[in-house]
Amino acid sequence: MTPHAAYPVYADLRWPRMTGIAKVQAACCAAAPPHVRLIDLQLAGSLGSPAAPLALTRALQRVRDGVFWNPGFLPPLWARIPSVVTVHDLTHRLFYSRMHRAYYDVVLKPLYRHCAAIICVSEYTRDTFLSWSKMAPDKVHVVLNGVCPDYASNTETLKLPYPYVLYPGNHRSYKNLARLLEAYSRSRLPQNGIHLVLTGDIHTGLQSQAVALGVADRVHFCGWLDVPDLPKLYRGALAVAYISLYEGFGLPIVEAMASGVPVMTSNTSSMPEIAGDAALLVDPYSIAEITDGLNAIALDETARLQLIARGAVRVSEFDWKNSTAKLWNIIDSVVDGAGS
Domains (range + CATH), the chain: 7-146+319-339 (3.40.50.2000), 149-317 (3.40.50.2000)
pLDDT mean over 236-243: 98
* Bridge partners (DSSP) listed for residue 166: 197, 240
Q: How far apart are CA 140 and CA 150, in angstroms?
A: 30
pLDDT mean over 14-39: 91
Which helix (H) or strand (E) segment is 315 a member of?
Answer: none
Predicted TM-score of the model (pTM): 0.94
Task: Give the pLDDT of residue 225.
Answer: 85
pLDDT in tens, 83-106: 999 999 999 999 999 999 999 999
Q: How far apart are CA 289 and CA 123, in angstroms?
A: 26
pLDDT in tens, 118-174: 999 999 999 999 999 999 999 999 999 999 999 999 999 999 999 999 999 999 999
pLDDT in tens, 49-60: 889 999 999 999
Is the pLDDT at 1 greater than 70? The verdict is: no
Task: Give the pLDDT of residue 212.
Answer: 98
* 126: amino acid identity, one letter: R
Task: Give the pLDDT of residue 245.
Answer: 98
Counting Cβ atoms within 10 Å, is residue 232 exposed (0-12), middle (13-18) or buried (19+)? Answer: buried
- Percent of the residues in the chain that have a pLDDT greater than 90, as a whole number: 90
pLDDT in tens, 310-335: 999 999 999 999 999 999 999 999 99
Task: Give the pLDDT of residue 340.
Answer: 55
pLDDT mean over 16-30: 88
Q: How far apart are CA 218 and CA 216, in angstroms?
A: 5
Q: How far apart are CA 127 and CA 137, in angstroms?
A: 9
- For helices 301-314 and 251-258, the axis angle rounded to 10 degrees is 100
CA 209, 244, 154, 190 torsion: positive or negative?
A: positive
